[in-house]
């Protein structure tokens, strides 16, 4: 079942972020804070946006040795975000340590999901640059299985890979899917893309949309269109 549209706040600074959020007078969109914004403004921007009542997906894609990732996640757990992530390529031990670090003393924690393969990665890139000769669908399914075995809540993947992941790992294993554009929009630098309506049909739990909403002539209308097509 479709759960929500997450809006990627891919802005260079605080002024642009809050001008965008101020457009929403009736809704409080679920938002994604990525590297660009977090590295520019630090954890305070997370606190400020959370104080406004938004759910937050902190998209930093941690990928390091297990001990470092555990310590980093312990720091992130204090920010009260709703979801964060790491690269599944870091392996099962790194993912298990991440969960340990993310879990607070009272047992609560944000959702933790794993990036399988970036939606900008093509089959050609997989084979030529990464020396992975398996089909993309098989690679994503394997990374997803390792993530689930490590105790994670779900994965980031293309909507096109969702049916295979759900069939193998169950409907409760979350799929957070970027690479979503409106039918009449530009694909940008994404390779494995689809529309909000198609993502819903394929079984995505969350879709992530940035430029089709943030750079729209009317961002609020674009957000409402995405919600209507994906959530209904």
Residues classed as catalytic: 61
Q: How far apart are CA 75 and CA 213, in angstroms?
A: 31
Q: How far apart are CA 76 and CA 71, in angstroms?
A: 9
Extract the tokens encoding 121: 């990665």
Show contacts of 217-221: CB within 8 Å, 24+ apart: 219/20, 219/23, 220/23, 220/24, 220/27
Phi and psi torsions of 32, nearest 5°: -115, 125
In sequence order, which ranges of the chain are alpha helices (DSSP H)? 14-21, 35-41, 43-51, 66-76, 92-102, 123-128, 136-149, 162-169, 196-202, 211-214, 219-230
Q: HEC string of 196-230?
A: HHHHHHHCCCEEEECHHHHCCCCHHHHHHHHHHHH
Indicate if the alpha-carbon torsion angle 118, 69, 152, 45 is positive or negative.
negative
Nearest CA to 36 out of 13, 20, 18 is that of 13
């Amino acid at each position: 079942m479709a759960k929500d549209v997450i809006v990627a706040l891919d802005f260079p600074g605080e002024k642009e972020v809050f001008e965008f959020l101020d457009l929403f007078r009736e809704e409080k969109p679920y938002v994604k804070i990525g590297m660009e914004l977090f590295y520019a403004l630090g954890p305070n921007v997370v606190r400020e946006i959370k104080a406004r009542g938004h759910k937050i997906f902190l998209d930093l894609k941690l990928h390091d040795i297990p001990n470092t990732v555990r310590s980093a996640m312990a720091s992130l757990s204090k920010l009260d975000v709703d979801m964060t992530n790491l690269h599944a390529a870091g392996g099962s031990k790194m993912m298990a340590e991440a969960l340990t670090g993310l879990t607070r003393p009272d047992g609560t924690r944000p959702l933790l999901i794993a990036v399988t393969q970036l939606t900008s990665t093509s089959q050609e890139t997989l084979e030529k640059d990464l020396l992975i000769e398996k089909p993309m669908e098989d690679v994503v399914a394997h990374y997803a299985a390792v993530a689930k075995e490590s105790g994670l809540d779900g994965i980031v993947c293309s909507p096109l890979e969702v049916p295979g992941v759900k069939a193998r790992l169950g409907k409760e294993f979350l799929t957070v899917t970027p690479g979503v554009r409106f039918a009449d929009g530009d694909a940008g630098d994404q390779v494995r893309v689809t529309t909000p309506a198609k993502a819903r049909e394929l079984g995505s739990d969350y879709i992530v949309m940035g430029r089709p909403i943030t750079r729209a002539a009317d961002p609020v209308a674009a957000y409402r269109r995405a919600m209507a097509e994906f959530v209904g």
